[in-house]
Amino acid sequence: MSKKPQLAVGLDIGSAWTRVVVLSLVDNCLHYRGHSAVISRGWHRGQIADQSAVAETVRQAVQQAELSSGEQIGSVVVGVGGPSTRSQQGRGLYEFGHRRPIERGDLVYAVELAARARLDEDRFLLQVMPQDFTVDGRPPIPHPLNIECQRLEAHALLITTSMQEHQALISAVHQAHLRVEETVFEAMAASYASILPEERAGGVALVDIGAHSTHIVYYDGDALLYAMGIPISGDHFTRDLGELKALSFDEAERVKFAHGCALLGLTADNIVIELPAETGRPGREINRRDLIEILEARAVQLFDIVERCRIRYARETPLREGVVLCGGGSQLEGMVEVTEKVLGCPARLGFPRGIIDWPEDLSSSVWTTSAGLAMYSARLQTRKDKKGGGPSIWSLFTGK
């Protein structure tokens, strides 16, 4: 009798859409099993306003994913994001007392010390990401195993989020009768699905543009240098159009994706867009050039922030492998090109990679985060099976 494959499920509870991806782990290979996407309910401007409505949305999404995969879902890895997510540096100093070779347990303990950094009130420690180590005051190195020293110092990035918002999200998932395996910063999950280790080694950033917030991470090799959520999102592009062209939100959203572009000169702009008449309102016309100029201004503002954060917080790391874009906001035409123009580096859309039988119609940047959460779940199970205990976040995302 063949062994039943392990299921790995990622739950991406966005403020606009809730997505579920179901994978199976067979002989260390990930296979697609099913998915679902339902419109999110219970949110207001990126925050949970009705926990019961969020729980009902999760139930619907999981039920549809169970029908799609033919499997019963009992536990999930949940994505966490929003503008309240931010990061800070942690430093852990471990004095040996005498010179001796560094063991793996010493590295773990030094990172645990770094994780004890004081957090602001109402902050939940979401992830601890080791960056590098200083040995007896020498320049930092990433993996100082077996080096003799007397003083080991660990540097780690501590990703935190609002404790209240985190608890509300977890409670909604529990209310939907699901067990939470782990919560993961959404941009890290998207990176895991779409960026290969060798690409991280060259320096890369991921920008996840959601409906109500944008998440950013910067990598230099195994080290996650900086992570944050900012309150500029896909909805800001839509609202800009609505306010400046007197459009309803739904009409502005439709016009944005049907006729919009984030970079002037990339497509024909000497076009007049005719808007159909509505009840009590005659038809109107909009110049496409005006439309593109509005969208480009907001895109430039967004990527100016990405660049300022790189310089100020991410050690000015050169992005030799460029920027990876994902999320619904990345679907706007011209976003890749305006990224390259503002940041002066390569850019691309981030799609899920490394999943066998992944459907072609899901090869989209809107599915990257949920796929990454499911991949994380699979890696979590693999590491537990091998070691008999919970793995570190570092080992999950670097394989070390």
Give yes or no: residues 144 and 216 share one domain.
no
Q: Whole-angstrom distance between the N-terminal and C-terminal Cα of the chain?
A: 34
pLDDT band at 176 (very low <50, low <70, confident <90, very high): very high
pLDDT for res 222: 86
Q: What is the rounded average pLDDT of the residues 358-383?
A: 94
Give yes or no: residues 201 and 337 share one domain.
yes
pLDDT for res 2: 53
The residue type at 136: D
User: Final residue of a domain: which of 349, 370, 392?
Assistant: 349
> Which domain does 265 fall in, by range?
196-349
Q: Is residue 60 part of a domain?
A: no
- β-sheet bridge partners, residue 159: 87, 127
Q: What is the rounded average pLDDT of the residues 148-152?
A: 95
Burial of residue 198 (number of CB atoms within 10 Å: 0-12, 13-18, 19+)? exposed
| 35, two tokens | 């998915």
pLDDT tens, residue by residue, 371-399: 999 999 998 888 766 554 433 444 434 44
pLDDT tens, residue by residue, 247-300: 989 999 999 999 999 999 998 888 888 887 776 677 788 999 999 999 999 999
Residues 6+ apart with CB under 8 A from 124: 160, 161, 162, 163, 166, 167
d(CA 82, CA 162) in angstroms, rounded, equals 9
Does residue 113 register a pLDDT over 90?
A: yes
Residues 6+ apart with CB under 8 A from 262: 292, 295, 296, 299, 332, 333, 334, 335, 337, 338
pLDDT for res 390: 38
d(CA 220, CA 349) in angstroms, rounded, equals 19
State the total domains in the chain: 2
Give yes or no: residues 265 and 208 share one domain.
yes
d(CA 151, CA 61) in angstroms, rounded, equals 51
Q: What is the rounded average pLDDT of the residues 48-67?
A: 97
Residues 6+ apart with CB under 8 A from 4: none
d(CA 39, CA 34) in angstroms, rounded, equals 18
Q: Say which residue the tokens 């016009």 belong to.
A: 255
Q: Is residue 26 part of a domain?
A: no
Per-residue HEC secondary structure of 176-219 comes to CCCEEEEEEEHHHHHHHHHCCHHHHHCCEEEEEECCCCEEEEEE
Give yes or no: residues 145 and 212 share one domain.
no
Q: Is residue 37 part of a domain?
A: no
CATH code of the domain containing 135? 3.30.1490.110
> What does DSSP say about strands 214-220 and 204-209: parallel, antiparallel, or unpaired?
antiparallel
Does residue 5 register a pLDDT over 80?
A: no
pLDDT for res 42: 96
CATH code of the domain containing 268? 3.30.420.40
d(CA 204, CA 322) in angstroms, rounded, equals 5
Q: What is the rounded average pLDDT of the residues 107-132?
A: 94
Q: In what order do the strands lie in the sheet with 223-230?
A: 223-230, 214-220, 204-209, 323-326, 347-349
Residues 6+ apart with CB under 8 A from 296: 261, 262, 263, 264, 334, 338
pLDDT for res 105: 93
Does residue 188 register a pLDDT over 50?
A: yes
CB 160 within 8 A of CB 86: yes
pLDDT for res 397: 41
The torsion angles phi and psi of 390, rounded to 5 degrees, stand at: -70, 135
User: Final residue of a domain: which of 334, 349, 364?
Assistant: 349
Return the minimum-mean-pLDDT range out of 88-97, 161-170, 383-392: 383-392
CB 54 within 8 A of CB 41: yes
Q: What is the rounded average pLDDT of the residues 314-327?
A: 96
User: Final residue of a domain: which of 142, 161, 180?
Assistant: 161
Return the minimum-mean-pLDDT range out of 196-210, 277-291, 343-357: 277-291
CB 10 within 8 A of CB 375: yes
Q: Is residue 123 part of a domain?
A: yes
User: Taking the mean position of all CA atoms in its chain, how far away is CA 208?
Assistant: 6
Higher pLDDT pick, 394 / 143: 143
Higher pLDDT pick, 335 / 201: 335
Residue 83 DSSP one-character state = T
Arithmetic mean of pLDDT over the chain: 92
Q: Is residue 93 part of a domain?
A: yes
Q: Is residue 187 part of a domain?
A: no
The residue type at 90: G
Q: Is residue 186 part of a domain?
A: no
d(CA 315, CA 312) in angstroms, rounded, equals 7
* Among candidate residues 20, 338, 339, 320, the one with its CA nearest the CA of residue 173: 20
CB 197 within 8 A of CB 398: yes
- β-sheet bridge partners, residue 48: 43
pLDDT band at 167 (very low <50, low <70, confident <90, very high): very high
